[in-house]
Amino acid sequence: MNSTMVLLIIGFAAGILSGLVGVGGGIIVIPALIYFLGFSQQQAQGTSLAFLLLPIGIFAVMNYYKAGFVDIKAAAIMCATFVLGSYLSSYMAVTIPAIYLKRTFGVFTFLVSLKFLIGK
């Protein structure tokens, strides 16, 4: 299978899971780019962030907004600090060896998974 087809499948899977359960970039795209296309951790993270820029989520947000499930004030507040946090952390991430980023990503997703599986 060529890389374009793999990218189309990754994007489609991320879109389905994003609309269904609110995940996509970190949970689907990053591991898929690494394991199916051989991207480095930094390449996968940077590509995932670029892919998630404004136009990607707008249609899913519109559906949630129409159904009354979007808190605009909360989203705006988080956006303000997300911009600063993502800028500062990306500045650091591009200098950290990929193995440490992979391990951090793995621990984070494992802990979140445990919380969802055994938490209330």
- Inform me whether the pLDDT recorded for 2 exceeds 90: yes
- Inform me whether the pLDDT recorded for 34 exceeds 80: yes
Residue 114: the pLDDT is: 92
Residue ranges per domain, the chain?
A: 3-95
Across the range 7-13, mean pLDDT stands at: 86
Cα separation, 31 vs 29, in Å, equals 6
Across the range 55-61, mean pLDDT stands at: 77
- Inform me whether the pLDDT recorded for 73 exceeds 80: yes
Q: What is the pTM of this model?
A: 0.65
**Do 10 and 28 contact (CB within 8 A), yes or no?**
yes
State the angle between helix axes of 3-21 and 30-37 in degrees (0 to 180), rounded to the nearest 10: 160
Which residue type does 38 have? G
- Inform me whether the pLDDT recorded for 70 exceeds 90: no
Cα separation, 52 vs 79, in Å, equals 14
